[in-house]
Amino acid sequence: MFWYHASTKHSYNSVRTNPNQLSWEDQPSTYKNYPDNYKKIKLNLDKEEDNFLYHIAGLTSKKSYSSGEYYLRINPSAGALYPNELYFQVRGVEGIDDGVYHYEVSSSSLTLLKSINDNEGLEPYFGYKTAMKGYLFLVSAIYYRSSWKYKNRAFRYCLLDAGHLLGSIEASALLKPHAVQVIYDINKEKLNRMFGFEDKEWFLAGCSMAVPMRGQEVSAIEFELPYIDGSRTFEENPLIEQAYNETMQLQKCKREVTAPKFTYNSKKLQETIFTRRSQRGFQEGAITKGQFNYIMEAIHQPILSDCDEEVSVYVVINRVLDMPLGLYKNGEYLKYGDFGHHAGYLSLEQYSLSTQGAVAFFLTSKAKNYQALYQKAGTIGHRLYIASLYLGIGCSGIGAYYDDEVNVFLENDEMVLYALAIGK
């Protein structure tokens, strides 16, 4: 088991003896904006490509409180802290100049960071020798946005949220429609330096929605962007930095080459993506067996990637019509029992979610490639959001749980990665 994961476990005692004391004046910004001397292009949602990009990470609504205004996004995030940033290269796409861009969330704009030509680009950093027509995405994390609140455990949230952002790319790509491939084996060290991150921001994964351009070889573009503050405040966390550096390199990866198959109606899917929300609680409503099977089929579809780590999906059935109560693993019935109350307790006593919901989920893994397996869990979580909400069923991600007690309940010794609940 990876030492970082073991050292950041929650227990009944730890959450009561080591409560986080938040310094609100140090709360980091959740937006990264490049200076106005960079070329910025406002998204026009009447254009297909702009609409596609907006449905990956756009702002969807505003909430006003006495403490200020908060904007909700298409992609979920633990504590609404949004540690991840989205960059991409575009080549040969109508209406967008070839180049490397940053998605500016606050203004729904694209910031041109570097123009590219026919002979050079980011492709070699993704492992490609030829020019790729389409999009090459890069997902980064500004970890202090999360560690300000979640301290040492924040790297887990950065990875989960990155997986959700990858899942958001996958969901938006279905509107075109087009398959995407996650690429974890990117040259992170070189890219971090080129983008001027200065150890305050890191790349976690790439994602390709592109096809080769025959006969057009490219060399690796090289540039040095200046550091741009993405959090306003910052506090170094040596534990998280060590965890990132020690998990950058991949080991003995297995590729997944089978594309997923979904049965979404494009118009309804677009509405689902735009209106996605995290449920704050459930009212003990039941879902049907047909709905449950539809959701399970969606989350178990293969994820195209160059490092497909095994993630086990445990399911606690509370209220599914015509299905027995109990614990399931990857579709296999393990044991009978009314475990709803215990599932709520394990989720840091969030009974309104894991107990009052129709189904509770626990995702675990014993794989070796920490960054890849954790982001896969986030992608599965995003698929759960999309499939559930598509059917009119609420969903909520739960990143906090009593790790070792979950292991006892599941009767395994794997790393517990994520908990979620769905219901009405």
pLDDT tens-place string over residues 4-35: 999 999 999 998 887 777 888 889 999 999 99
- What number is the average pLDDT over the span 319-348? 97
Q: Which among 222, 246, 270 is the end of a domain?
A: 246
How far, in Å, are 29, 33, 125, 231 from residue 38 at the CA level? 20, 10, 24, 19
Q: Are residues 177 and 77 in the same domain?
A: yes
Among 246, 267, 295, identify where a domain stops: 246
Q: Which two tokens stand for residue 311?
A: 């993630």
Whether residue 356 is contained in a domain is answered as yes
Q: Which of 180, 167, 173 is nearest to 51 (CA)?
A: 173
| Same-domain pairing of 70 and 152 | yes
- The confidence band for 296, taking pLDDT boundaries of 50, 70 and 90, is very high
Whether 310 shows a pLDDT value over 90: the answer reads yes
* Whether residue 376 has pLDDT greater than 80: yes
Percent of the chain with pLDDT over 90: 92
CATH number of the domain to which 152 belongs? 3.40.109.10
281-315: burial string, b at 16+ Cβ within 10 Å, e else:
ebeeebbeeebbebbbebbebebbbbbbbebbbbb
Q: What pLDDT score does 202 carry?
A: 98
pLDDT of residue 220: 98
Inform me whether the pLDDT recorded for 299 exceeds 80.
Answer: yes
Check whether the bond before 324 is cis (ω within 30° of 0). Answer: no
Whether residue 207 sits in one domain with residue 114? yes
In a domain, 35, yes or no: yes
Per-residue pLDDT tens over the stretch 187-240: 999 999 999 999 999 999 999 999 999 889 999 999 999 999 999 999 999 999
378 and 237 in a common domain:
no
Q: What number is the average pLDDT over the span 175-185?
A: 95
Same-domain check for residues 197 and 312: no
Q: Tell me, yes or no, whether 257 lies in a domain.
A: no
Is 95 within a domain? yes
Assigned domain for 189 exists: yes
Collapse the DSSP code of 307 into the 3-class scheme (helix H, G, I; strand E, B; otherwise coil) and give the result: coil
State whether 386 and 295 are in the same domain. Answer: yes
Same domain for 311 and 221, yes or no, is: no
Domain assignment present for residue 272? The answer is no
Q: Which of 228, 246, 264 delimits the end of a domain?
A: 246
Same domain for 289 and 224, yes or no, is no
Structural domain of 69 = 8-246
pLDDT, tens digit, 9 for 90 and up, residues 70-118: 788 999 999 999 999 999 999 999 999 999 999 999 999 999 999 999 9
| Residue count (the chain) | 424
Q: Does residue 1 lie within any of the structural domains? A: no
Mean pLDDT of 374-396: 98
Domain count, the chain: 2
Q: Over the chain, what is the mean pLDDT? A: 96
Angstrom distance (rounded) from CA 194 to CA 140: 13
